[in-house]
Amino acid sequence: MKLWILRPVDGLPANDNPWEPWYDKCFGFVVRTETEEDARKAADDDGGDENGHSWDSSSQKHPWLNPKYSTCLELTTDGEAELVMRDFAAA
């Protein structure tokens, strides 16, 4: 199995940003799966309101499945020491 980190793409325009407004949303996942496709599906299955409202199919974007809206990178042990993920939102 592989570890994947999924995050929103930076710099999305406000009129096409599933994370606006910021509340009731997931902003990151670390997932253990074999493939990127499976990692994206796991994040989508456990997402918040960034996916849209279940009662309004026209609002559903499923941004964890779409590279336009989210990144999905394999985590490896290679590289410099770094903070891998800090997911913080202040009100």
**pTM (predicted TM-score):** 0.84
Question: In terms of residues, how long is the chain?
Answer: 91
List, for residues 24-68, the tens digit of each pLDDT value.
999 999 999 999 999 999 999 999 999 987 666 666 789 999 999
CA atoms of 42 and 33, how far apart (whole Å): 9
CA atoms of 22 and 34, how far apart (whole Å): 30
Question: Residue 55: what pLDDT?
Answer: 65
List, for residues 9-25, the tens digit of each pLDDT value.
999 999 999 999 988 99
Distance between start and end Cα atoms, the chain: 37
32 Cβ contact list (under 8 Å, min separation 6): 1, 2, 3, 4
